[in-house]
Amino acid sequence: MIVLFASGSGGHIEPALLLKERLQKMGASVELILGNHYPKVSDGKVLNIPRRKIMALLYFPFLCMYVMRYFFIKKPRIIIGFGGFQSLLVLLIFRSLGCKIAIYEHNLIIGRANAFLLPFVHIIFLIWEETASRWSPRYYKKVIFVRPLVAGSENLKEKLYQDRKFTIVIFGGSQGARFLNDLFIQFLQHFKHYGDIEIDLIAGIKFYPSVIKRLAAISVDVEYNIQDFCNDMGRYYTSGDFFITRAGAQTILELISYCRPALLIPYPYAQAHQLGNAIHLLRKKCCLVVRQDKAKREAVIKVISAVIRNRDILVRMSENLKDLRQKLFNNPGMEEIIVSRFL
């Protein structure tokens, strides 16, 4: 039995869902446990661990009892965590019971929960060589570099940016982003004279009603699509020409996987993770980056207008993304390593 634990946003949960699917296809017995509800999952075990740390600590005794009972009934060979404070608590309990534990870290800068777990884990699955470049040998010897856990781009076709409708896709991760939703409304009003252009928005379940209400109060001449949550991001990555989004690890890896250029506006309260991810891609000339405190309406519109007028910028970024994709996706699959070691 292999156990996967994930909690928080889609950036933590989506890789776990994909790994579960791939392990099951290889004949592995695997169970997914979630720390909180996620719209895309209907059949996983959900522990409903409080999001606030102080409340999670008060919940800790009940969590211990659940994990102990689960461990002695299921007898898992290994549990793999996907980051976040809730994952830290669960993995430490499993470790105290003698179970092997592993972590998957897909940010360029390791998260605090995963960093705390480094002395206790048996395997550290990483995407970026830069993540472990300054680690001590005691941690580095546990590292296995793996292919990113993203889906759907195996048969990727070359993107043609010239002489066709130009599609901008805006989304703020699985939970949406009020700041990016505001930009969407402003874009609809500004780009109405730009001809053949479409602007798509994934607003987030929480913010969707307010965006719809605002749209009803303005006159819109630009073609647009809006939805609250997306179960299949692949269709947006396939149809979109340019993306305006945050710089979470899963989003970054999906953009690389589909070789799609983007304007990244890192979430300013995500420790240093998103800014580190964005700057790394910027240095490789794979994206454009604007900090949120600098992302005023006029500045962002200026960037988008330049991209629409000169689409060769997108071609160059796509080529650079293709080179980066080839490097990252040459690593072995995480599911292959797990099956070879624990089945």
* pLDDT tens per residue, range 258-268: 999 999 999 88
Q: Which of 142, 136, 141 is nearest to 123 (CA)?
A: 142
Radius of gyration of the chain from its Cα atoms, rounded to whole angstroms: 21
Six-digit token string for 226: 């809006």
**Average confidence (pLDDT) over 198-212:** 91
The C-alpha atoms of residue 134 and residue 140 are separated, in whole angstroms, by 9
Q: At residue 193, does pLDDT exceed 90?
A: no
Given a contact cutoff of 8 angstroms between Cβ atoms, the answer to whether 183 and 300 are in contact is yes
Q: What is the mean pLDDT of residues 209-228?
A: 87
Alpha helix locations (H) across the chain? 10-25, 53-74, 85-96, 112-117, 137-140, 178-190, 208-215, 234-239, 249-258, 273-283, 297-309, 312-328, 334-342
157 has a pLDDT exceeding 70: no
CATH number of 166-327: 3.40.50.2000
Q: How far apart are CA 28 and CA 48, in angstroms?
A: 26
Tell me what the mean pLDDT of segment 303-307 comes to.
86
Mean pLDDT, rounded, for 312-334: 94
Distance CA 107, CA 171 (A): 19
Nearest to 56 by CA among 31, 36, 76: 36
A 10 A CB-CB count for 306 gives 11
Provide the pLDDT for residue 162: 57
- Cβ burial, residue 198 (10 Å; 0-12/13-18/19+): middle
- 6 compared with 163, residue with greater pLDDT: 6
Rounded distance between C-alpha atoms, residue 303 and residue 234, angstroms = 25
Is the pLDDT at 199 greater than 80? The verdict is yes
Taken in order 288, 293, 296, 299, the sign of the CA dihedral is: negative
Query: What is the pLDDT averaged over residues 51-65?
Result: 88
The CATH number given to 2-145 is 3.40.50.2000
Report field, pTM of the whole predicted structure over 0.95:
no
Across 139-166, average pLDDT: 77
51 pLDDT above the threshold of 70: yes
* Comma-separated ranges of CATH 3.40.50.2000 domains in the chain: 2-145, 166-327
pLDDT band at 194 (very low <50, low <70, confident <90, very high): low
CA distance 122 to 78: 9
